[in-house]
Amino acid sequence: MIELKQILIVRTDLKMGKGKVAAQCCHASIEAYETTKKKNPEYTELWKEQGMPKVVLKVKDEIELMQIYEKLKKYNPVLIKDAGKTQVEPNTITCLGVGPAPSKYLDKITKNLKLL
Amino acid sequence: MIELKQILIVRTDLKMGKGKVAAQCCHASIEAYETTKKKNPEYTELWKEQGMPKVVLKVKDEIELMQIYEKLKKYNPVLIKDAGKTQVEPNTITCLGVGPAPSKYLDKITKNLKLL
């Protein structure tokens, strides 16, 4: 069986609080889910059967986030920009979401990132 | 225009870390979104046009979470249980998600809760 997961990757340099991080990850999670549902509906179905596993990882800044984003391109990652009403400047890229996609491919790209 | 939002409500007594809270909220967000899409598809469409606003609130324990859950019942809230592999006991209810639904109704029920 193919193991699938969704990965959310968050910038730590923005010093966002718990609630802010959670809200940004929820944006990323729904957008990545909807994108995958359009492009690989078989992944979203199988992922639901597997209990929708999700992992939240961290990067130190926007540069590191964009490097990972480029490497993840073929799995249709989504970047989340914040409207900037609270805590961060308008249009700051706060995090990315990718998948569900096969764990074995995503893990190869994200293996050096730590859990948030 | 009807203003819509999705609300995620998290227990603080479990002392979950940032990444754990984010992952639990993402579960709640996707499940509440899918539930709403089935029951009130006009809400999910309009909510997307509005930029999918989300708010993350907190309660002090399971009792308070379940009280709010009961009050939110007509808006089809979802409860999230954790598999308990990390940080919390198996089957612990960690948070709930509700909506998107009209802000004016949700706000009446959640107005005494603080932002996480």
Instruction: Write the pLDDT tens digit of every residue in A77-86.
Output: 999 998 777 7
- Is the CB of residue A99 less than 8 Å from the CB of residue A32? yes
- Residues in A whose CB is inside 8 Å of some CB of B read 6, 8, 10, 17-23, 25-27, 29-30, 33, 51-52, 54-58, 83, 115-116
What's the longest Cα–Cα distance across chain A? 44
Task: Flag whether pLDDT at A97 surpasses 90.
Answer: yes
pTM above 0.80, yes or no: yes
pLDDT at B72: 97
Q: Residue A59: which pLDDT band, with cuts at 50, 70 and 90?
A: very high
Measured CA to CA, the distance from residue A68 to residue A85 in angstroms comes to 27
Tell me the CATH number at A110: 3.40.1490.10
Domains held by chain B: number: 1
Average confidence (pLDDT) over B55-80: 97
Task: Flag whether pLDDT at B85 surpasses 90.
Answer: no
Task: Flag whether pLDDT at A87 surpasses 80.
Answer: no
CB–CB contact A18 B116 (8 Å): yes
Q: Which residue in A18, A57, A58 is closest to B21 by CB distance?
A: A18
3-class DSSP assignment, residue B54: strand
Q: Which residues have CB under 8 Å from A12's CB, separation 6+? A: A58, A59, A60, A116
Return left, alpha or beta for B84; rule: phi > 0 is left, psi -120 to 50 is alpha, else beta: left
Range of the domain at A97: 4-115
Q: Which residues have CB under 8 Å from A98's CB, separation 6+? A: A6, A7, A9, A32, A72, A75, A76, A77, A78, A106
A8 to chain B, closest Cα gap in Å: 8
CB–CB contact B23 A30 (8 Å): no
DSSP secondary-structure letter at A61? S
- Is the CB of residue A25 less than 8 Å from the CB of residue A97? yes
Q: Which residue in B27, B28, B116 is closest to A19 by CB distance?
A: B116
Kindly report the average pLDDT of chain B as a whole number.
Answer: 95
Q: Interface pTM (ipTM) of the complex?
A: 0.93
CA A84 to chain centre: 19
Residue A6: C-alpha distances to residues A22, A107, B42, B56 (Å) = 15, 11, 27, 21
Measured CA to CA, the distance from residue B82 to residue B21 in angstroms comes to 11
